[in-house]
Amino acid sequence: MINKAIILGNLGADPEVRHLENGVSVATINVATTETYKDRNTGERVSNTEWHRIVLWRGLADVAEKYLKKGDQVYIEGKIETRQYQDQAGVTKYTTEIVGRELKMLGSRRDRDQSANPQQAAAPQAQPQVTHAQQNATVEDPLKAPANAAPANSPADDDLPF
């Protein structure tokens, strides 16, 4: 069986980050995906926006806290989870969210606006791409690869059949 969600959208607000008593970081982000189509009857363009609640743990939460801002475009892979909780009145409620396992930052609206006006564009900054497997690594700078990672253009890349 497979439980996999892939979301490509824009952040609706800055990440909400909490640090638990045991030192673990948890970030919650809300990502909007918009579907646009042409209405057959009226011929008008119609947009439907869906909001997705995404929870990021540990290293992914730290990256979100440090680098993500409202309006940034992100690619998230994760799994869908539904959990129950009790509100302040003692009523049992349910929430469905995506627990992110991979995060890729694709840029921000600011970056896209600057690329539309090359005269105003500044030098692009590298943005980390973090996966669930890298979350527990104790890398001070998320832009640096772990010591055991192979170089990007290693000879092993040449042996790939595609």
Q: Which residues of 44-72 are buried (b: 16+ CB within 10 A; e: fewer)?
A: eeeeeeeebebbbbbbbbbbbbebbeebb
Question: Of the given ranges (9-13, 26-30, 104-108, 139-143), which has the lowest mean pLDDT?
Answer: 139-143
Quote the pLDDT of residue 107: 78
pLDDT in tens, 32-86: 999 999 999 999 999 999 999 999 999 999 999 999 999 999 999 999 999 999 9
Kindly state the average pLDDT of the residues 97-107.
94
Confidence of residue 129 (pLDDT cuts 50, 70, 90): low
Kindly state the average pLDDT of the residues 116-144.
47
| Cβ count within 10 A of residue 15 | 21
Query: Which is nearest to 15 in space by CA: 83, 91, 81, 105?
Result: 105
Quote the pLDDT of residue 109: 63
Quote the pLDDT of residue 152: 44
Q: Residue 121 has which token pair?
A: 């564009």
- Using an 8 Å Cβ cutoff, are 92 and 46 in contact? no
- Using an 8 Å Cβ cutoff, are 35 and 9 in contact? no
Taking 3-state DSSP, the helix, strand and coil percentages for the chain, each rounded to the nearest 5, stand at 15, 45, 40
Q: Residue 40 has which token pair?
A: 């057959």
16-19 and 5-11 beta bridge pairing:
unpaired
pLDDT in tens, 16-34: 999 999 999 999 999 999 9
pLDDT in tens, 139-155: 333 344 444 444 444 44
Confidence of residue 132 (pLDDT cuts 50, 70, 90): low
